[in-house]
A and B are shown apart, each in its own frame.
Chain A
Amino acid sequence: MNKILSKIKTLLLVATLLVNTNTAFADQNQVVKDYINTLANQVIAIVKNKSEGQQDKTDELFSLLKTNFNLNWMAKFVIAQNYRQLNSSQQIDYQNTYAKYFLYSYLPNLMKYTDESFKIIKVSEQTPGNFTVETQILRNGQPPISINYQVKPKSGNPGEYQVIDMVVEGVSAIMSQRSEFSSIVQQSGADGFITKLKTKVVQLETKSSGA
């Protein structure tokens, strides 16, 4: 009898632990979902704000995305081992240039979303601390666009999150850049690559400011 009671106790303990673990996962998924939802709504509010001029919108989006994308990590990811070839001042210079490059390439696409709406389909934890938020941009009379956001906790601040990649219709933004950048580093070397990146940033910045 005692043996049976002991087994029942063990089962109940395991079940309680499982339920608690699942709830913890569910809570974390909800936090990530809320984070992306808030970010998307902030972006939509800026894009749809008719009282603001183009330049003000660009500036506002720029600062919002700069805080919410882990651009330092992304900058390292896209040039892979080549990052180690740069000295410390080149690394800082490159990271700042990459942040501008990413944001100025991405902003014009965001500014087009004036009539579209946004829906979160699913949040899942791929590996511990790595979340995929599956979303859809719903367009009038056209098929929806699927965008998955890869989200990680902020380094040194596990309660807050940042986006590390966007996968649009199965195509990862940083994987594409990684392939593109490594091709240029091979052709022009690390210095040549940074020079090209800077030139491109100037072009994109000029275009973005409408000059």
Chain B
Amino acid sequence: MHLYKIIQLLMIITISLCTNSAYAQARNSQNNGQCYEVVDSYEKFNRAMFEVDLTLDHTILKPISIMYKETVPSWGRDRVRNFIGNLKSPLTLLNNAAQGDSNSAFRTFWRFAINSTFGLGGLLDFASGFGLTENSQTFGDTFAYYGASYGSYLVLPIIGPSTIRDATGKVYDITLDPLNLVLNYKEQAGIFVGSTVSNRTDYLDLSDSLEKSSLDYYAQVRSMYLQNRAKKNLACENRQIDYDMYNEEIK
């Protein structure tokens, strides 16, 4: 089973390195107009799923996150966030390699090595002190790097906001994450729960404020998610909103 996964990993790295230049060319020539465009082909389904997720959040995840924030001091929560962040490094390293980005791969490797040893298994983030800051990458990012558009916005059960591209990437993340070679299913589930609660705790204030001020919370979350993802897409990351472009329509 492990040997099979290792072969899969090596194949992905080899193929991506070989085809890197051709894909990069395609990426540069793609139409960048989608950076700020909202495509929601499954809106009816998405809105229904959003309501389900929101109910789950209000009844389970949010109360747990509030309890976590109230019982664990800020210092402890930082250690948990660092530990979970460090566990994402192998997947990031794999994606750095898949994108042919040797500089980021080098940084991710040393960040992981330093924090796993001197940082006591990732509890302390010493690497940032050396300028090796966290820049997690997933297969969704890798697909975006190679020019795949996000397809359509998609709300997933429990996971929440996503896109066709990111949801596909998620399947690859789960299947090919090198960490899963050494962890059993219970440990993987534990990390997923810890990561979900830690992330939700970080956004407690923001989500409350948005929910109270939004006229259409679903549309607000959708726009924020898509803008945030566009920022991680190399084709969009340096693009500013062309405010003048919109002047004509509002004259």
List residues of chain A with CB under 8 Å of any chain B CB: 73, 76-77, 80-81, 83, 104-105, 108-109, 112, 126-127, 130, 132, 141, 150, 152, 164-165, 167, 169-172, 175-181, 183-184, 193, 196-197, 200, 203-204, 207
Cα distance A200–B209 when bound, in Å? 13
- State which size class the interface on B falls in: 20 to 34
Q: Is the CB–CB distance between B38 and A200 below 8 Å?
A: no
Q: How far is the CB of B44 from chain A (nearest CB, A)?
A: 12
Q: How far is the CB of B248 from chain A (nearest CB, A)?
A: 10
Q: Which residues of B contact A141 (CB under 8 A)?
A: 74-75, 78
Q: Which residues of B contact A169 (CB under 8 A)?
A: 228
Main secondary structure of the interface of B (DSSP, over half): helix
Q: Is the CB–CB distance between A176 and B224 below 8 Å?
A: yes
Contacts A108-B209, A180-B214 known; A175 to B74 CB distance under 8 Å? no
12 other A-B residue contacts (CB within 8 Å) besides A108-B209, A112-B205, A193-B215: A77-B246, A81-B249, A130-B244, A141-B75, A150-B241, A170-B227, A170-B230, A176-B220, A176-B223, A179-B222, A179-B223, A180-B220
Q: Is the CB–CB distance between A184 and B215 below 8 Å?
A: yes
Main secondary structure of the interface of A (DSSP, over half): helix
Cα distance A112–B205 when bound, in Å? 10
Which B residue sits closest to A169, measured CB to CB? B228
Which A residue sits closest to B242, measured CB to CB? A127
Task: Indicate the member of B215, B220, B230, B249 with the most A CB atoms within 10 Å.
Answer: B215
How does the 8 Å CB contact mask read for B49-78 relative to A, with 1 for contact and 0 for none? 000000000000000000000000011001
Q: Is the CB–CB distance between A127 and B244 below 8 Å?
A: yes
Q: Is the CB–CB distance between B227 and A80 below 8 Å?
A: no
Cα distance A108–B224 when bound, in Å? 19
B42 at interface by CB-CB < 8 Å: no
Q: How far is the CB of A152 from chain B (nearest CB, A)?
A: 8
B184 at interface by CB-CB < 8 Å: no
Q: Is the CB–CB distance between B227 and A180 below 8 Å?
A: no
Q: How far is the CB of A134 from chain B (nearest CB, A)?
A: 11
